[in-house]
Chain A
Amino acid sequence: MHRYLVSRVLLVFPTLLGAAALVFILMRLIPGDICLVRLGSGGTSFSAAALAACHAEIGIDRPWWLQFLDFIWGLARFDFGTSMWSGKPVIQEIASRFPVSLEVAVMATLIAIAIAIPLGTISALKQNTWIDLAVRTFSIAGIATPSFWLGIMSILLVLDLTQAISGHPWMPSIDYVPLWKDPIRNLSIVMLPAITVGYRYAAVSMRMTRSAMLEVLREDYIRTARAKGLLEKIVINRHALKNALLPVVTVIGIEFAFLIGGLVVTEQVFNLNGIGRLMVLSVQNQDYTLTQALVMLVVTIAIVSNMLVDLFYAWLDPRIRLA
């Protein structure tokens, strides 16, 4: 198990280095630069001297290899530099947004698990009945409905419903407050986006749970367990579900990593000041330092969640850790 863990950890470093090189190159392949966006956003003209001063100020007038070495050296020291757009430390920019994305991602994951595993299991157990059909329809709708549309619709629904009931349109606050400062207000802000995202997430996981369960339920050891006279509850929970969860865990792990940096549209629709929105903004502004740091953050989260999934695999299936 230790060797397994060490080999997984060692693989992290070349992956991170590759990602760092890739994002560094890709950002510089985009025509234009942050100074053009910054100086020209108002539509007025600006001088070459102003542009040169801006380049010098943020350091993009230096050779690209020097910038790359700076970036890598910074990474090694966990120093991501300052945002070229705001001038604030990148760590500070990310730290103020990370809790929002993390909260939505965790809540969406919990919602997805709470929906997907029971419904997927029931759907498999009741294969080809009206229950199965209903669950599959619910699941396909979740995959087919874009999150941004669902988000806008849910806000409009809340606005219209509250107007119809109380005469005054109401919607959750658009001004985020942390959970520890005002839990009720926080939950009212985060609940709608979490449900919106969690629904799609659940739909994917639900289909995976159903198909994995169907496969496992046809295995010999399930027939044996039933032949031994075990209670159906024990057969399902202890023998079938645990084995069927392997691919579901993979999906949940990958989706969670995606949620941290991928809630771009949902964050915009609900005015959540999270990592996804920051990522779009930093790319739009061609803020190299911030984009590089954000990509590295998402890559790290993806790597860590994959590692956790692998470890969870090993716990679920002893054959993996022994192999």
Chain B
Amino acid sequence: MLRTFGGWAALAAVLMVALAGPASTDEAPKRGGTLTYMIPADGPPSFDAQREETYATIHSAAPYYSTLIRANPMEPGSPDLVCDLCTEMPKPTDDGKTWAFKLRQNVKFADGQPLTSADVLASWKKIIWPPEGTVSPRASNFVMVDSVDAPDAYTVVFHLKFATDAFLPALADPYAWIYSKAKLDQDIHWYEKNIDGTGPFKFVKYETGQSIEGVRNPDYFRTGLPYLDGIKGIFADKQVTRVEAIKSDQAAIEFRGFPPTVRDELKAALGDKIDVQTSDWNCGGLITPNHKRKPFDDPRVRRALTLAIDRWGSAADLSKIAIVHTVGGLTYPGSPLAPTKDELQQIAGFWPDIEKSRAEAKRLLKEAGQENLSFTLLNRSTDQPYKYYGIWVVDQWSKIGVKVTQRVLPTGPWFAAMRAEDFDMTVEGNCQNVVNPLADVGKYLPHAISEGNYGNFDDQHEIDLYNAMLRELDKTKQKQKLLEFNKYVLDDQAHGIFLLWWQRIVPYRAYVKGWKIGPSHYVNQDLATVWLDK
């Protein structure tokens, strides 16, 4: 049964209901206590989320900041976006091209200064149009933004070049912390080493590479929140340390997620003292062929290689040992815009009959004169899930007679090899935060548009499909165009070979309440609603 998309969806639903229970009960929150949690890193590169890409920054300092809008903390996996610093979600004007946000008037920074639209404006300008000497890795998500202004002290207006449904989810970026204009004016790099936000907690101290601590912000703009008196994040890069810390109750939770084996280990050791929440993760694995290298310039070869992979048959077994789980296309499986099972099974590599699929793969290789194909697969030296992906696909390809050798490199050299076009095929990931079905597939566009695509190909038709999809406001047509895009990228051209979506598993001490898992470890980390049932 689990070899079907429906089966997986049903299992996921059961797991969500069974395991996500603690966060959805109606227990009255208790006040007080300090939450100690593990951060799976040696420390953040900096505290400036606007310039960083790592969860180490989010998990360290998100509780000290607010954003303009955000994913609904009660349902972080839903497309529902809610206000954080704004008073209500605006209705766009000017045919969807103007968005005016009214701001709360009772918000103060930790240093006591009131927040105004000047702060929000300065923060967003830094994100969208980073000043010289600063970095903003997500600036390209805001190609639709023409200008931002602040007509009064509590209003911020975004003017778009074109209306698109990709705008609001991009605006809910959990890295888009709102900073003080005064601090930015004083030193544009001030926030890299200092913390001063409007979040539910106030920063107390950071022991380099050891821990970070905060206390309840008495001036927090949401009355009654947070419930906790304090928070303490402990950095530990080694998984065994984090697991032991939870086991010995030195820490209550780690928010990024553990492999299934750790969940089982903690449950076996601590029984009902451990609760588990599980979710699909807005991260997917893919193999990118280098189109500049023969024979990967031939769509028949690329198509054969995706056809050889038995996603439906492997997902169940892989999900027992790795953080991969769900069969899906380029669109996050939980999104209403994701292909249905029937639609997905029309795409090469997702056919229900693997024997038929592999027979077609062999035929294509023969037709392309590549019956004895052998190549090197570049991979990243990261255990979960890259190494599992690598071993899996090498085995899958062997079933159609393709011989593959892996070349596993640390993150820096792996990136360098991809940028230098020094690979045949490479294992990659596409990890996004708030689910934004239209923008999240931007990764698969040719390098001229998406600099994070290492396939080395040009394809105007694909760009046209994407642009049409990005500007489409009718949901039914949007879904149709997205399906067309999936079919074109994964099947017709096989520009990328999509593997499996990740699964996020968070086992934690059962006394932690009020936190709800979402499809991204970047989202829902301000901890305002977390409380301890002790």
A43 vs B54: C-alpha distance when bound (angstroms) = 9
B6 within 8 A of A: no
Among A57, A86, A87, contact of B133 (Cβ-Cβ < 8 Å): A57
The proximity string for B residues 136-149 relative to A, scoring 1 for CB distances below 8 Å and 0 otherwise, is 11111000000000
Inter-subunit contact B237/A268 (CB<8 Å): yes
B231 within 8 A of A: no
Whole-angstrom distance between the Cβ of B432 and the nearest chain A Cβ: 7
Inter-subunit contact B241/A88 (CB<8 Å): no
Residues facing B in A158-186 (CB within 8 A) are 159, 168-171, 173-176
A46 vs B431: C-alpha distance when bound (angstroms) = 13
Inter-subunit contact B45/A268 (CB<8 Å): no
Whole-angstrom distance between the Cβ of B99 and the nearest chain A Cβ: 24
Inter-subunit contact A269/B134 (CB<8 Å): no
B207 within 8 A of A: yes
Inter-subunit contact A44/B55 (CB<8 Å): no
A152 within 8 A of B: yes
Among A40, A173, A277, contact of B411 (Cβ-Cβ < 8 Å): A40
Inter-subunit contact B138/A173 (CB<8 Å): no
Binds A, one of B63-71, B391-399, B446-454: B446-454
A37 within 8 A of B: yes
Binds A, one of B101-109, B155-163, B242-250, B470-478: B242-250
The proximity string for B residues 92-132 relative to A, scoring 1 for CB distances below 8 Å and 0 otherwise, is 00000000000000000000000000000000000000101
Inter-subunit contact B248/A171 (CB<8 Å): yes
Among A42, A87, A159, contact of B248 (Cβ-Cβ < 8 Å): A159
A38 vs B52: C-alpha distance when bound (angstroms) = 7
A48 within 8 A of B: yes
Residues facing B in A35-66 (CB within 8 A) are 36-48, 50, 53-54, 56-57
Residues of A within 8 A of B234 (CB): 174-175, 271
Residues of B within 8 A of A152 (CB): 240
A292 within 8 A of B: no
Residues of B within 8 A of A47 (CB): 137, 139-140, 451
Binds B, one of A90-98, A135-143, A212-220, A297-305: A90-98
Whole-angstrom distance between the Cβ of A282 and the nearest chain B Cβ: 10
Residues facing A in B379-432 (CB within 8 A) are 409-417, 419-420, 428-432
Residue with the highest number of chain A CB atoms closer than 10 Å, among B209, B429, B450: B209
Residues of A within 8 A of B293 (CB): none
Among A37, A50, A159, A169, contact of B415 (Cβ-Cβ < 8 Å): A37
Residues of A within 8 A of B412 (CB): 30-34, 36-37, 284-286
A32 vs B45: C-alpha distance when bound (angstroms) = 17
A30 vs B52: C-alpha distance when bound (angstroms) = 23
Among A42, A57, A268, A278, contact of B135 (Cβ-Cβ < 8 Å): A57
Whole-angstrom distance between the Cβ of B35 and the nearest chain A Cβ: 14
Among B135, B247, B269, B453, contact of A45 (Cβ-Cβ < 8 Å): B453
Nearest residue (CB) in A for B417 is A31
Residues of B within 8 A of A307 (CB): none
B461 within 8 A of A: no
Given contacts A152-B240, A159-B248, A269-B241, contact A53 B134 (CB under 8 A): yes
A159 vs B245: C-alpha distance when bound (angstroms) = 10
B43 within 8 A of A: yes
Given contacts A30-B412, A36-B416, A169-B247, contact A268 B210 (CB under 8 A): no
Residue with the highest number of chain B CB atoms closer than 10 Å, among A57, A87, A175: A175
A273 within 8 A of B: yes
Nearest residue (CB) in B for A270 is B241
Given contacts A273-B210, A284-B410, contact A40 B53 (CB under 8 A): yes
Among B133, B207, B249, contact of A53 (Cβ-Cβ < 8 Å): B133
Inter-subunit contact A32/B416 (CB<8 Å): yes
The proximity string for B residues 189-214 relative to A, scoring 1 for CB distances below 8 Å and 0 otherwise, is 10011000000000000011111000
Whole-angstrom distance between the Cβ of A261 and the nearest chain B Cβ: 16
Inter-subunit contact A41/B133 (CB<8 Å): no
A37 vs B53: C-alpha distance when bound (angstroms) = 10
Residue with the highest number of chain A CB atoms closer than 10 Å, among B237, B238, B443: B238
Inter-subunit contact B135/A159 (CB<8 Å): no
Inter-subunit contact A93/B250 (CB<8 Å): no
Whole-angstrom distance between the Cβ of B43 and the nearest chain A Cβ: 7
Inter-subunit contact A271/B241 (CB<8 Å): yes
Given contacts A88-B208, A269-B240, contact A44 B416 (CB under 8 A): no
Among A44, A155, A168, A286, contact of B137 (Cβ-Cβ < 8 Å): A44
Q: How many A-B residue pairs have CB under 8 A?
A: 169
B309 within 8 A of A: no
A159 vs B247: C-alpha distance when bound (angstroms) = 9
A169 vs B430: C-alpha distance when bound (angstroms) = 39
Residues of A within 8 A of B209 (CB): 96-97, 273, 277-278, 281
Nearest residue (CB) in A for B130 is A53
Inter-subunit contact A39/B53 (CB<8 Å): yes
Given contacts A33-B412, A39-B135, A46-B451, contact A176 B53 (CB under 8 A): no
A258 within 8 A of B: no
Residues of A within 8 A of B53 (CB): 38-42, 44, 46
A37 vs B234: C-alpha distance when bound (angstroms) = 22
Residues of A within 8 A of B238 (CB): 268-269, 271
The proximity string for B residues 332-368 relative to A, scoring 1 for CB distances below 8 Å and 0 otherwise, is 0000000000000000000000000000000000000
Inter-subunit contact B431/A174 (CB<8 Å): no
Nearest residue (CB) in B for A100 is B210
Whole-angstrom distance between the Cβ of B355 and the nearest chain A Cβ: 33
Inter-subunit contact B42/A45 (CB<8 Å): no
Among A42, A86, A159, contact of B46 (Cβ-Cβ < 8 Å): A86
Whole-angstrom distance between the Cβ of A188 and the nearest chain B Cβ: 12
Whole-angstrom distance between the Cβ of A59 and the nearest chain B Cβ: 12
Residues facing A in B201-238 (CB within 8 A) are 207-211, 234-238
Inter-subunit contact B269/A87 (CB<8 Å): no
Residues of B within 8 A of A31 (CB): 409, 412-413, 416-417, 420
Residue with the highest number of chain B CB atoms closer than 10 Å, among A40, A42, A86, A175: A42
Inter-subunit contact A87/B241 (CB<8 Å): no
Inter-subunit contact B431/A45 (CB<8 Å): no
Nearest residue (CB) in A for B134 is A53
B283 within 8 A of A: yes
Inter-subunit contact A33/B416 (CB<8 Å): yes
Among B54, B250, B431, contact of A171 (Cβ-Cβ < 8 Å): B250
Residues of B within 8 A of A278 (CB): 42, 209
Inter-subunit contact B249/A37 (CB<8 Å): no
Inter-subunit contact B249/A41 (CB<8 Å): no
A227 vs B285: C-alpha distance when bound (angstroms) = 80
Whole-angstrom distance between the Cβ of A160 and the nearest chain B Cβ: 10
A selection of 23 A-B contacts at a CB cut-off of 8 Å is A31-B417, A32-B411, A33-B416, A37-B411, A37-B412, A42-B53, A43-B283, A44-B432, A46-B137, A48-B451, A50-B136, A57-B133, A86-B208, A97-B209, A169-B249, A171-B244, A176-B210, A268-B237, A271-B238, A271-B245, A278-B42, A284-B410, A285-B45
In the A-B complex, the 3 residue pairs with the closest CB atoms: A45-B452, A32-B412, A32-B416
Contacts A42-B431, A87-B193 aside, 13 further interface pairs with beta carbons under 8 A come to A32-B415, A39-B135, A41-B411, A44-B432, A53-B135, A87-B46, A92-B208, A174-B236, A174-B244, A175-B250, A268-B241, A270-B241, A278-B209
- Residues of chain B having any CB pair with chain A under 8 Å: 42-43, 45-46, 52-55, 130, 132-140, 189, 192-193, 207-211, 234-238, 240-241, 244-245, 247-251, 269, 283, 409-417, 419-420, 428-432, 442-443, 450-453, 522
